[in-house]
Structure 1
Amino acid sequence: MIYAIVNINDKQFKLIENKYIYVPHVSANVGEKILLNQVYFFYKEGKIFLGNPYLEKINVKIEILQHIKGKKIFIFKKKRRKGYKVKNGFRPLFSKIKIISFLEKK
């Protein structure tokens, strides 16, 4: 099994080849292929590669499949005995991506 831990929008994700994953919204069009170059960790055939902080010889090629909204998150503020209540909410944006391949530079 080959996998990598990468940085996408300041969050770390474990990516496995030919799998799908939902990540925070990536500002690219649907169907676009992107190279991720901020790879912290790479594992292949029992060999481990650690970056300091990133691995410079390894990139991850992904494809944007769709942009969706997540479940609604409610924000409720209240001050007791004051009659103050505010209810707000939002739906976070996510991108569904497919990991195509891991590219190793020589």
Structure 2
Amino acid sequence: MFAVIKTGGKQYKVAKDDVIVIEKLEGEAGEAVSFDSVLMVGEGAETKAGVPFVEGASVAAEVVEQTRGDKILIFKKKRRKNHRRTNGHRQDLTVVKITDILTDGKKAAAKAKKAAPKKEAADGDAEAAPKEAKAEKPKAAKKAPAKKAAAKKATAKKAPAKKAAAKKKED
């Protein structure tokens, strides 16, 4: 069974267990997401198209990760005017795995978040959490002076501003 869904201003043909990369959606890894804007549902030769959406159809999915796309460079130039502008852009993306295609108004069963067991473990070990936080702070503090020291070394290597004038030889 396949479905055509609309999200982020684009249309995607999806089937169960497909992994797609779409425009950014709110949610963390492991959360369930539902797409209600289904344009077409089909299985084999039997397809059902919506006007504009198929009533009662939805696609259930799970967020795999939040990521960013490749950098796109935008370069603008006006010839003979010495006018050049360079700009860059990286699009925020969400990787989603399709778990189920539902028809006839059925709702997807809500899945528990993958992050939830980690939170329960943190609650049980109340003493372990502050120790981990304390351990992380000194590492960050050690890195900052190293960067400053590198900057001082770079400035120390600069040549003096003026040199003594060379004497002219007389014959």
TM-score range relative to shorter protein: over 0.9
Q: Output the aligned Cα RMSD.
A: 1.2
Equivalent runs, 1:24-63 vs 2, <5 Å: 24-63=23-62
**Which ranges in structure 1 are unaligned for 5 or more consecutive residues?**
none
Conservation of the 8 A alpha-carbon contact between 1:78 and 1:86: yes
Specify which structure has the bigger relative contact order, considering alpha-carbon pairs within 8 angstroms and separated by 6 or more residues. 1
Equivalent runs, 1:25-104 vs 2, <5 Å: 25-104=24-103
Structure 1 residue 103, shift from structure 2 partner: 1.3
Structure 1 residue 46, shift from structure 2 partner: 2.7
1:63-103: per-residue Cα shift (whole Å, max 9, x none)? Answer: 11101111110110111111111111011111100000011
Conservation of the 8 A alpha-carbon contact between 1:21 and 1:98: yes
The residue identity in structure 2 corresponding to 1:102 is: I
Structure exhibiting the larger radius of gyration computed from Cα positions: 2
**Which ranges in structure 2 are unaligned for 5 or more consecutive residues?**
106-171
TM-score, normalised to structure 1, is 0.93
The residue identity in structure 1 corresponding to 2:71 is: K
CA distance in 2, matches of 1:104, 1:53: 16
- Using the aligned pairs only, state the percent identity: 29
SS of the counterpart of 2:30? coil
The residue identity in structure 2 corresponding to 1:69 is: R
1:22-62: per-residue Cα shift (whole Å, max 9, x none)? Answer: 11111222211011110001112431101000011211001
TM-score, normalised to structure 2, is 0.59
Structure with more of its chain in helix, by fraction: 2
CA distance in 2, matches of 1:4, 1:104: 10
Number of residues paired by the alignment? 105
Conservation of the 8 A alpha-carbon contact between 2:21 and 2:94: yes
